[in-house]
Amino acid sequence: MDTKDLPANILDPNCPSRVIFQRIGDKWASLVIQVLGDGPVRFSELRKMVNVVTPKVLTQTLRTLERDGLITRTVYAQVPPRVDYQLTPMGESLLQPLSMLREWAESHVPTIMEARDAYDDAQDEALLASPK
Amino acid sequence: MDTKDLPANILDPNCPSRVIFQRIGDKWASLVIQVLGDGPVRFSELRKMVNVVTPKVLTQTLRTLERDGLITRTVYAQVPPRVDYQLTPMGESLLQPLSMLREWAESHVPTIMEARDAYDDAQDEALLASPK
DNA sequence: GACAACGGTATCCATTGGATACTGATAGCT
DNA sequence: AGCTATCAGTATCCAATGGATACCGTTGTC
Q: Identify the CATH number of the domain in which residue A88 sits.
A: 1.10.10.10
pLDDT of B119 strictly over 50: yes
What is the rounded distance in angstroms from the CA atom of residue A29 to the CA atom of residue A64? 9
pLDDT of B74 strictly over 70: yes
- Mean pLDDT for A77-98 is 97
pLDDT computed for residue B115 by the predictor: 96
Structural domain of B62: 16-93
Q: Does residue B109 fall inside a structural domain?
A: no
Q: Where are the beta strands (DSSP E) in chain A?
A: 41-42, 71-76, 82-87
A28 touches strand C (CB under 7 A): yes
Length of chain B as a residue count:
132
Q: In what order do the strands lie in the sheet with A41-42?
A: A41-42, A82-87, A71-76
What is the rounded distance in angstroms from the CA atom of residue A53 to the CA atom of residue A63? 15
Q: Does residue B118 fall inside a structural domain?
A: no
3-state secondary structure chain B: CCCCCCCCCCCCCCCHHHHHHHHHCCCCHHHHHHHHHHCCEEHHHHHHHCCCCCHHHHHHHHHHHHHCCCEEEEEECCCCCEEEEEECHHHHHCHHHHHHHHHHHHHCHHHHHHHHHHHHHHHHHHHHHCCC
- Mean pLDDT for B26-42 is 96
Residue B70, Cβ density class (10 Å: 0-12 exposed, 13-18 middle, ≥19 buried): buried
Query: 3-state class of A74 per DSSP?
Result: strand
Task: State the nucleotide closest to B63 in CA–C1' terms.
Answer: C8
Nucleotides of D under 7 A from a protein CB: 5-12, 18-22, 25-28
CA–chain centroid gap for B117, Å, is: 26
Residue A4, Cβ density class (10 Å: 0-12 exposed, 13-18 middle, ≥19 buried): exposed
Q: How confident is the model at residue B25 (pLDDT cuts 50, 70, 90)?
A: confident
Q: How far is the CA of A78 from the C1' of C29 (A)?
A: 20
pLDDT computed for residue A25 by the predictor: 87
Do residues B30 and B22 lie in contact, with contact meaning Cβ atoms separated by under 8 Å? no
Interface test with B, best of A20, A61, A62, A73 (most B CBs within 10 A): A20
What is the rounded distance in angstroms from the CA atom of residue B123 to the CA atom of residue B119? 6
Task: Name residue A125's amino acid.
Answer: E
Instruction: Using CA coordinates, name the residue in chain B closest to A7.
Output: B106
pLDDT of A2 strictly over 70: no
Q: How far is the CA of A87 from the C1' of D4 (A)?
A: 35
Query: Over pLDDT 70: what percentage of chain A?
Result: 93
Q: Does residue B52 fall inside a structural domain?
A: yes
Q: Does residue B103 fall inside a structural domain?
A: no
A107 touches strand C (CB under 7 A): no
Query: Over pLDDT 90: what percentage of chain A?
Result: 74
| Number of domain units in chain B | 1
- pLDDT one-digit tens code per residue, A17-62: 998 998 888 999 999 999 999 999 999 999 999 988 999 999 999 9
